[in-house]
Structure 1
Amino acid sequence: MFAVSYGLLGLVSGPLVVLTAFSITRREPIPWKPANTTSLAASVFLGSSLTYVVLVAPQAAGLLAWLLIVGTVLALVDWTCHLLPHKVVGALFLGGLALISAEAFVLRDFGPLLRAGVASVVVFVAGVLLYQRFAAELGFGDVTLAAALALYLGRFGWECVVLGLTAGLLLIWIVIQTLLIAKRVGRHDPVALGPAFLSGTAYVILQA
């Protein structure tokens, strides 16, 4: 029953995710139109993903559900117009912080919460330093997203922080090489980093 509830949540969230991403990329109010192919694909993806999350990692179902739903909005926007809106990244961060904090109070174990916060700060500081050095290749939205994802990964340990961000960088490298081989981008063309970072984070948490 728990898995069914999360599956239904994913199915319902699909159109809302696509419409929200559309609104951000077009800078227009959310257009409440009938579901299209993209909305259907998002519903299938989120419905199946959230069901899988509950079955594989029930202890982290809520955290992963928020990561997947908000993360899908960010992935769609970043892939479409190379933008990671601070408001959406902030929603990802604050939602994760609220869920991790609630868990800490319920279990009376504040270690994971403290570790998650420190991980986020460390990654943010490191990201800012990299941004100052590689501003042409690295957007500040990528820095804030990495810090938000470090919060999620830090909940499960420092090893997960390293593995999650490394997995994201590896996926980015694979995507860039694939696009270059297919001649879809040039060597100096911008490439969305958000989807790869989000995918790497979700994968590592599922393995934790």
Structure 2
Amino acid sequence: MPGWLLCIPGLFGLAIGSFGNVVAYRVPAGLSLTRPSHCPHCDAPVRWWQNVPVASWLALRGRCATCRAPIRWTYPLVEAACAALFVLVTWFLFAGARSPAPADVAVAVALWWLAAVTVILTVIDLDTHRLPDVIVLPGYPVAGAGLLVACLLGAPWPSLGRAVAGMAILAGLYGLLRLIRPDGMGGGDVKLAGLLGLYLGWFGWGALAVGTLAGFVLGGLFGIALIAFGRAGRRSAIPYGPWMLAGAWLGIVLGEPVATGYLRLVGAA
């Protein structure tokens, strides 16, 4: 795949990231997504040239063009992160291919959705310790439809069955953890776990195992770091969604080779 073609998903990711900022700000606040963009300080409308991803924030030096109130630095970060993930997903699926297989295109659409949701949920969970249903739950039909279309276009059907099994396994695991310790696991985490299990199962049992374990490890290390630096106590609520998502991406990209290497090592021992 020619490298210049990666500019296309990159630009698309920037646009999605710009809308992702709107979602990340308005959904937790209960605000409408259809109202035109405006400054939250002076209510001045944001013109189209003030809304170009990353570039406008830099040109305005991170301040509103009307009242000069600061614009959060997370805005260009969200846009850039979405663009980077869209590019990485495209490269991961299509690197070395002269022309993308139709089934892989369907999988790419499902993964682009996950990429956008990853960035949006990370911002929301770090800010509010919430994983809103209105963002998490639509991922089930989007991912399910994308993977089903992939099978109709030539992907192996057992992958879809494994994806459904992964969804049930991960949702069941997190649901059990919530029953054991309700104060340590939120309902949003359980719903997100099922969605991530759907993706991880599609890529293999190794991806499911590594992605699940990585989420626990990353979340645990984050909690330990917060406690060590006095930012949280043993019973403090810690946003876990970002680490579940990060672990899932590690599972998708590295899960199968890591699991295969581990099994070979164990077998050799």
TM-score of the superposed pair, with normalisation by structure 2: 0.73
Identity %, equivalent residues: 25
Residue 3 (str. 1) matches residue 6 (str. 2): yes
Q: Cα distance 1:108–1:49, how it changes in 2: closer, same or farther (>3 A)?
A: closer
1:108 shift after superposition: 5.6
* One-letter amino acid of the structure 2 residue matched with residue 170 of structure 1: V
52-61 vs 191-200, which deviates more? 52-61
Distance 1:125 1:45 in 2: 31
Letter in 2 for 1:49: L
What's the offset of the Cα at 1:90?
A: 0.9
Aligned to 1:164: 211
User: 1:124·1:147 contact (CA, 8 Å) conserved in 2?
Assistant: yes
Quick check: 92-101 or 56-65, which moved more?
A: 56-65
What per-residue deviation string (whole Å, max 9, x for no partner) do you get for residues 46-97 of structure 1? Answer: 1122112222332453332111101222111111111111221112222111
Aligned to 2:220: 173
> Of residues 149, 161, 164 in structure 1, which corresponds to 2:196?
149
Kindly indicate whether the alpha-carbon contact (under 8 Å) linking 1:64 and 1:202 is maintained by their aligned counterparts in 2: no
Question: Structure 2: which 5+ residue stretches go unaligned?
Answer: 39-45, 52-70, 95-103, 257-269
1:99-123 CA distance string (max 9 Å, x none): 1111011106211111101111122
**Cα distance in 2 for residues equivalent to 1:83 and 1:38:** 18
C-alpha contact 1:131 1:140 (8 A) present in aligned 2: yes
CA RMSD of aligned residues (A): 1.7
- Measure, in 2, the Cα distance between the counterparts of 1:26 and 1:108: 41
Bigger proportion of residues as helix: 1
Supply the distance in 1 between the matched residues of 2:211 and 2:172 (Cα, whole angstroms): 17
User: In the alignment, what sits opposite 2:79?
Assistant: 43
**3-state DSSP class of the match of 2:182?**
coil
Q: Equivalent residues in 2 for 1:95-106 (5 A)?
A: 95-106=142-153
Moved more, 142-151 or 81-90: 81-90
> AA paired with 2:142?
G
The number of equivalent residue pairs is 208
C-alpha separation in 2, matches of 1:17 and 1:137:
28
Aligned partner of 1:87 among 124, 128, 134: 134
Q: Which has the higher contact order (CA 8 A, sep 6+)?
A: 1
Q: Compare CA radii of gyration and give the structure with the larger one.
A: 2
